[in-house]
Structure 1
Amino acid sequence: MELDLLCRRLAIHRFAELELPGLLFLNVMPLTIVERDFREGLTLGFIRESGLPPERVVIELTEHVPIHDYDLMRQAVAHYRDMGFQVALDDLGAGHSSLRHWSELRPDFVKLDRHFISGIDQDPAKREFLRSILDVARSLDCQLIAEGVETAAEHLCLWELDRGLALLQGFYFARPSRQPPLELNMLLPATTHLKKPSWPHCTLYLAPNRRYHG
Structure 2
Amino acid sequence: MAIQAAKLDAIEHIYQPMWNLNNWSIFGYEALLRFTEQSAGRDIESAFYLARRENRLYELDSMAIESAISNFPLASLTHELLFINIFPSTLLDYRFPGFIRTIMNSYSVVPDKIVFELNETQDESHAWEIPELKERLALLKDYGFHIALDDVGKGAATLQKIIEFEPNYIKLDRYFSEGLSKSKEKQELISLFISYSKHKMGLILEGIEKDTDLAQAKLINVPVVQGYLLGKPQKITPDNLFGKFRESLNPMRYQSV
TM-score bracket, shorter-length normalisation: 0.7 to 0.9
**Cross-structure match for 1:50:** 107
Gaps of 5+ in 2: 1-57
Q: C-alpha distance in 2, partners of 1:184/1:117?
A: 21
Structure 1 residues 96 and 10 mapped into 2: Cα distance closer, same or farther (>3 Å)?
farther
Structure 1 residues 159 and 7 mapped into 2: Cα distance closer, same or farther (>3 Å)?
same
Which structure has more RCO (C-alpha within 8 Å, separation ≥ 6)? 2
**Cross-structure match for 1:187:** 248
Equivalent AA in structure 1 for residue 73 of structure 2: A
SS in 2 for 1:51: coil
**Cross-structure match for 1:24:** 82
TM-score, normalised with respect to structure 2? 0.68
**Cross-structure match for 2:117:** 60
Higher helix share: 2
**Cross-structure match for 1:199:** none
Q: Does 1:109 align with 2:166?
A: no
Gaps of 5+ in 1: 195-202, 206-214
Structure 1 residues 45 and 96 mapped into 2: Cα distance closer, same or farther (>3 Å)?
farther
Equivalent AA in structure 2 for residue 10 of structure 1: S
Q: How does 1:169-188 map to 2 (within 5 A)?
A: 169-179=226-236, 181-182=242-243, 184-188=245-249
SS in 1 for 2:131: helix
Structure 1 residues 190 and 146 mapped into 2: Cα distance closer, same or farther (>3 Å)?
closer
Please state how far the C-alpha of 1:95 moved relative to its aligned partner: 3.6
Q: C-alpha distance in 2, partners of 1:122/1:151?
A: 12
Residue-pair matches, total = 192
Please state how far the C-alpha of 1:78 moved relative to its aligned partner: 0.7
SS in 1 for 2:76: coil
SS in 1 for 2:116: strand
Native 8 Å contact 2:152 2:171 kept in 1? yes
Of 5, 9, 12, the residue aligned with 2:69 is 12
**Cross-structure match for 2:96:** 38
Please state how far the C-alpha of 1:184 moved relative to its aligned partner: 3.7
Structure 1 residues 70 and 132 mapped into 2: Cα distance closer, same or farther (>3 Å)?
farther
TM-score, normalised with respect to structure 1? 0.81
Q: C-alpha distance in 2, partners of 1:135/1:70?
A: 30
Q: C-alpha distance in 2, partners of 1:3/1:94?
A: 25
Structure 1 residues 85 and 17 mapped into 2: Cα distance closer, same or farther (>3 Å)?
closer
Give me the CA root mean square deviation.
2.3
Structure 1 residues 84 and 189 mapped into 2: Cα distance closer, same or farther (>3 Å)?
closer
Equivalent AA in structure 1 for residue 256 of structure 2: L
Structure 1 residues 190 and 19 mapped into 2: Cα distance closer, same or farther (>3 Å)?
closer
